[in-house]
Amino acid sequence: MSPEEMERNIVRYGDLRPCRTAFIDAHTPGSNQKENFTIIGGGVSEAADQHVHIRQTPGFNIGAAGQPPKCRNSLHSHRTAEVFFVLKGRWRFFWGRRGTAGEVVLEEGDIFNIPTGIFRGFENIGLDYGMIMAILGGDDAGGGVIWAPQVIEEARAHGLVLGANGRLYDGKKGERLPDGVGPMPLLTEVELAAFPEPGTAEVIPGHVARYWDLVALADRRPATVIGAQGRLRDRPGFEVAFVTRGSAAEGLGESDRPTVLMPVKGHWRLSWPQGSATLAPGDTCLVPARLPHAVVPSMTGEAALYRVTGTGDPAGPTWRPA
């Protein structure tokens, strides 16, 4: 692979193109300043004009959300994995039908494998623009978003209607539901009863990993964060490893499946037989399967990255061992 070809597999943080109308709550006060980024794969955007940086999917999708302080993402659910790590800022994640079942505050580098089947939301509680990076299970990211009924109702009051076809129609732009397409039906009380309301003590131990704990665990070898034997035990169709300066390998290695590199701290040098490239925090790099490569810090100082590799396991509900 030439350096020019590899560069097409790298999405630079400074080149990210946001969509500000990706979801149903884009006009709702408190959520109307959020930006969504679709980096690898089509993600779960409901907007027809969402820009996709790399359409090829390695069995999962990569996205991001950027929000100013006090901006929140409304309560929703997914059928497959939704994993976030904090790139910039301080974030509060909350869950439950009304967002009151539990919550956790995450700092830069912390990672959260949110259980499937529960309503979840998040907000930037920091003092500056914040960014969280997302890994979504499956090539089609689980077929879309399931919204809490009050989110759809509130959005309708601000001019946005979600069609049963999964597309948004903006009344402020004069858009209407096409002939033959009705609005997305609201979940019934019977359907809502199937969504769990786990408390904080049930969720945090098996679904949250803290940055500085992972730094300690990855002092000599990469730490498996999400995987069948990971710190957060799950099999969502991909594995997540955490690599630091002490656990980065100089020699070339390869995987029989595509790998995504996502730096959190420091600058990293990606090398392969035909060239090299430098990756910075917020950059996302898709390394093709069976390409020999190495990634090591390129400068002194703190250095850490998340490495995501597809496993071939079917994407589906959060897996927990017996």
Looking at per-residue confidence, does 32 or 194 come out higher? 194
Query: What value does the mean pLDDT take over residues 54-68?
Result: 93
- pLDDT over 90, % of the chain: 68
pTM for the full predicted model: 0.92
CA atoms within 13 A on the CB side of 210: 7
Q: Pairing relation of β-strands 35-40 and 52-54?
A: parallel
Residue 211: C-alpha distances to residues 63, 111, 148 (Å) = 20, 7, 31
pLDDT in the model for residue 304? 98
Confidence of residue 44 (pLDDT cuts 50, 70, 90): low
CA gap 152, 250 in Å, rounded: 51
pLDDT in the model for residue 322? 39
Query: What value does the mean pLDDT take over residues 48-77?
Result: 90
User: Residue 107 is inside which H or E element, if any?
Assistant: none
Looking at per-residue confidence, does 141 or 308 come out higher? 308
Q: What mean pLDDT value characterizes the chain?
A: 91
Residue 319 has pLDDT above 70, yes or no: no
Q: How many CB atoms lie within 10 A of CB 108?
A: 19
Which of 228, 87, 233, 76 shows the shortest CA–CA distance to 144? 76
Residue 27 has pLDDT above 90, yes or no: no
Backbone φ/ψ region at 218: left (φ over 0), alpha (ψ -120 to 50), beta? alpha
Residue 116, both tokens = 């499937």
pLDDT in the model for residue 48? 62
Confidence of residue 131 (pLDDT cuts 50, 70, 90): very high
Confidence of residue 24 (pLDDT cuts 50, 70, 90): confident
Residue 142 has pLDDT above 60, yes or no: no
Determine the 3-state secondary structure of 19 from DSSP.
strand
- pLDDT over 70, % of the chain: 95
DSSP assignment of 200-237: HHHHHHHHEE-HHHHHHHTSSS-EEEEETTSSEE--SS
pLDDT tens for 206-232 read: 999 999 999 999 999 999 999 999 999
pLDDT in the model for residue 321? 46
Q: What is the CATH number of domain 3-207?
A: 2.60.120.10
Q: How many residues does the chain have?
A: 322
Query: What value does the mean pLDDT take over residues 262-284?
Result: 98
Q: Of the ranges 58-62, 166-170, 284-288, which one carries the lowest mean pLDDT score?
A: 166-170
pLDDT tens for 173-190 read: 888 889 888 888 898 999
Query: What value does the mean pLDDT take over residues 253-258?
Result: 92
Confidence of residue 265 (pLDDT cuts 50, 70, 90): very high
> In 34-57, which positions are buried (b, 16+ CB within 10 angstroms) versus exposed (e)?
bbbbbbbbbbbbbbeebebbbeeb
Beta carbons of 276 and 313 less than 8 angstroms apart = no
The boundaries of every CATH 2.60.120.10 domain in the chain are: 3-207, 211-310
CA gap 109, 104 in Å, rounded: 14
SS (H, E, C) 189-204: HHHHCCCCCCCHHHHH
pLDDT tens for 109-128 read: 999 999 999 999 999 999 99
For 189, residues 6+ apart whose C-beta sits below 8 A from its C-beta are none
Residue 180, both tokens = 């033959």
The distance between the two most distant Cα atoms of the chain, rounded to a whole number of Å, is 60
Residue 237 has pLDDT above 80, yes or no: yes
Residue 300 phi, psi (nearest 5): -70, 165
Give the architecture-level CATH label for domain 211-310: Sandwich (2.60)
